[in-house]
Amino acid sequence: MQKRRTNFGLKRVTNRLDSHLKARFDAFCEGFGMSASTAFNIFVRAVVRQRKIPFEIEMPEEDGI
């Protein structure tokens, strides 16, 4: 017999985004047939699986540093 998944283990995550950026992100995700929530879940799973941020993050060099 197959186990049924429930939402009891789910936790809500809230963040704030610029409204224009959010609209662009929603449109991007929609182009892939998914919600922003689904895209965020994909990102979180990739971080946990790879044990790193799945893309490079850089800080631009500043004069005098």
pLDDT score recorded for residue 18: 96
Half-sphere exposure of residue 8: CA atoms within 13 angstroms, side-chain side: 3
pLDDT score recorded for residue 8: 76
Comparison of pLDDT for 4 and 38, the residue scoring more? 38
Give the pLDDT band of residue 59 (cuts 50, 70, 90): confident
Give the pLDDT band of residue 28 (cuts 50, 70, 90): very high
Say how many residues make up the chain: 65
pLDDT score recorded for residue 62: 77
Under a CB-based contact definition with an 8 Å cutoff, are residues 13 and 21 in contact? Answer: no
Q: Where are the domains of the chain?
A: 19-50
